[in-house]
Amino acid sequence: MHTIATHTRNYINAEYGVMSWLLTRDHKRIALLYLGSVTTFFALGGLFAVAIRLELLTPAGDLVQSETYNKLFTMHGVIMVFFFLIPAIPAVLGNFLVPIMIGAKDLAFPKLNLLSWYIFMIGASFALWAVVNGGVDTGWTFYTPYSSVVSNTQVIAAAVGIFITGFSSILTGLNFIVTIHRMRAPGMTWFRMPLFIWSHYATSLIMVLGTPVIAITVLLVFAERALKLCIFDASCGGDPVLFQHLFWFYSHPAVYIMILPAMGVISELVAAGARKNVFGYSFVAFASLAIAVLGFLVWGHHMFVSSQSVYAGMIFSILSFLVAIPSAVKVFNWTATLYKGSVSWQTPMLYAYGFIGLFAIGGLTGLFLATLGLDVHVHDTYFIVAHFHYVMVGGTIMAYLGGLHYWWPKISGRLYPEGWAKFGALIVFVGFNLTFFPQFIVGYLGMPRRYHAYPEEFQVLNVMSSAGASILGVGYLIPFVYFIWSMRYGPKAGPNPWGAKGLEWTIDSPPITENFVDTPVVTEGAYAYTHERMDVV
């Protein structure tokens, strides 16, 4: 890397003092602000999960009151979804990497980027206010009329929090879209972009097109509750099912906001881990767009037994199967990328393997739910809980951790301890499966979700799940500890510890404030590890 000058100045030590962080416009510093915030929310959401699992150790509802239990899972869901998982990869890794990967000095609108973080924190404050002042008990889905006229908890504060946070997501998406369109370095054509960028582009489309609908929907719940308007309330002839339509119009695409960036991370990990072109690059790139677009057409699969029309159910079912196809394409392409690669067994790859396997199971069980006749039985049981934890925890969090490990040297300039990291990844994998696999079984047996007490015959499976959760908790604690440790004691990383391709590995670790000394000129595709060309067999 002859072109790299060693700068002692980098984005971390460029300026000092709290204000230099709170007023920064550097996308990398903002990424770290988000990293701090979402980690805190993850810990909080995790604490609620621990409480849930403790309660479910015994069939009787003996640890907490049912009111409390209902608040626990609601706040667990709300915090994990809106304040952790949706921002996690885009706002942390995306913020850090999108400009660097396309050879830009920053996002198109740095001030807006900082504003997004403030909006996020303001929204989060409302949600936290709700948590501290008695909590919310509507479930993260806020179904009316329970949320709008019946519940007597802090629905208004939570709704306002989600409304505000939504704008942070919208502005992040907007910033990415404009950046990717307008800020690419010379030579960085669309089909030379890393797949991480493609998937963030697709994610941003969903953020911009979907998030406003959840914003207006929670605003209407707010209006119905606080201003006594009549929108969904059946007592003035309104339709509670309309709320569900509007809610899922966003919230189904939102699950792709959670998974698409994770898929982008996996594409990078697999390419660097196998030192190879991602197999079928353009298919993977277009699969991201296909998921983003088709993802808007399937929301009604959450409403098969909601009294939605049978025909609408059929339309949503068949479209749900269609949206599974691009995901399948991606899984197969990642697997094929390993073929004849130079495959690494370092921690980021372990997480990538974990992701592919667990996402496959999570996604395939999604097919169970898209199957009309089967969903009637498993809807609102623990089968659903297992499905979405497999995709969200087994999928997105695995990818997030894999990505954090992979880019940690770039972010912090230091290496994490590899041995501990492998051990942590193993614990996470084992703990995860022990927690959530039994839930498929107990779900098919018929245990409904959001149950504070349950019949005795479900106990054994629930105890397994709770045991798994404690292992999983330890598994998450391990990286948390050694990442912090490495910031001080980790060995210096150097610009490219993995021998990986990509503009981010051509610059210093940690990078300087405007990323590049001189604007790079790109002359080849994203994963050009070799210039030989070869066929599959």
Q: Residues interacting with Cu ion, by CB under 5 A? A: 252
Asked if residue 246 binds ligand HEA (CB under 6 A), the reply is no
**Neighbouring C-alpha atoms within 13 Å toward the C-beta of 22:** 4
Give the C-alpha separation, 313 to 193, whole Å.
38
Q: How many CB atoms lie within 10 A of CB 94?
A: 31
Asked if residue 259 binds ligand HEA (CB under 6 A), the reply is yes
Asked if residue 327 binds ligand HEA (CB under 6 A), the reply is yes
Asked if residue 244 binds ligand HEA (CB under 6 A), the reply is no
Question: Nearest 5°: CA angle at 125, between 121 and 129?
Answer: 170
Give the residue carrying structure tokens 């960085």.
188
Minimum distance of ligand HEA from residue 86's CB (angstroms): 9
Q: How many CB atoms lie within 10 A of CB 238?
A: 18
Backbone torsion region of residue 535, taken as left when φ is above 0, otherwise alpha when ψ lies between -120 and 50, otherwise beta? beta
Give the C-alpha separation, 182 to 524, whole Å.
19
Asked if residue 328 binds ligand HEA (CB under 6 A), the reply is yes
Minimum distance of ligand HEA from residue 395's CB (angstroms): 6
Q: Of these, 196, 198, 279, 408, which contacts other proteins (CB under 8 A)?
A: 279
Minimum distance of other proteins from residue 313's CB (angstroms): 7
Minimum distance of ligand HEA from residue 328's CB (angstroms): 4
Minimum distance of ligand HEA from residue 501's CB (angstroms): 26
Which residues, numbered 451-480, are part of the site for other proteins (CB under 8 A)? Answer: 451-457, 459-461
Q: Of these, 268, 375, 504, 508, which contacts ligand HEA (CB under 6 A)?
A: 375
**Residue 456-495 contact track with ligand HEA, rule CB under 6 A, x = bound:** ---------x---x--xx--xx--x---------------
Which residues, numbered 199-218, are part of the site for ligand HEA (CB under 6 A)? Answer: none
Q: How many CB atoms lie within 10 A of CB 181?
A: 11
Q: Of these, 11, 48, 117, 304, which contacts other proteins (CB under 8 A)?
A: 304
User: Which partner, Cu ion, ligand HEA, other proteins, none, binds residue 329 by CB below 5 to 8 Å per kind?
Assistant: other proteins
Minimum distance of Cu ion from residue 44's CB (angstroms): 25
Question: Nearest 5°: CA angle at 304, between 300 and 307?
Answer: 100
- The footprint of other proteins on this chain (CB under 8 A) covers a number of residues equal to 167
Task: Please say whether the beta carbons of 271 and 337 come within 8 A.
Answer: yes
Q: C-alpha 357: how far from its chain's center?
A: 17
Which of 150, 120, 153, 149 has the alpha carbon at shortest distance from 134? 153
* Positive or negative: CA dihedral 405, 46, 261, 368: positive
Peptide bond into 145 cis (omega under 30): yes
Residues 6+ apart with CB under 8 A from 8: none
Q: Which stretch binds other proteins (CB under 8 A): 46-54, 85-93, 404-412, 515-523?
A: 515-523
Q: Which stretch binds ligand HEA (CB under 6 A): 60-68, 92-100, 120-128, 394-402?
A: 394-402
Which of 111, 121, 152, 113 has the alpha carbon at shortest distance from 134? 152
Q: Give how far Cα 418 sits from Cα of 186, 218, 347, 348, 483, Å.
A: 37, 45, 7, 10, 11
Which residues, numbered 178-197, are part of the site for other proteins (CB under 8 A)? Answer: 178-179, 181-183, 186
Q: Which stretch binds ligand HEA (CB under 6 A): 178-186, 231-239, 377-385, 484-492?
A: 377-385
Give the C-alpha separation, 127 to 133, whole Å.
10
Q: Of these, 396, 433, 509, 513, which contacts ligand HEA (CB under 6 A)?
A: 396
Q: Which stretch binds ligand HEA (CB under 6 A): 119-127, 134-142, 239-247, 414-422?
A: 134-142
Task: Give the footprint of ligand HEA on this chain (CB under 6 A).
Answer: 43, 46, 49-50, 52-53, 73-74, 76-77, 80-81, 84-85, 139-141, 255, 258-259, 301-302, 320, 323-324, 327-328, 331, 360, 363-364, 366-367, 369-370, 375, 379, 384-385, 387-389, 391-393, 395-397, 435, 449-451, 465, 469, 472-473, 476-477, 480
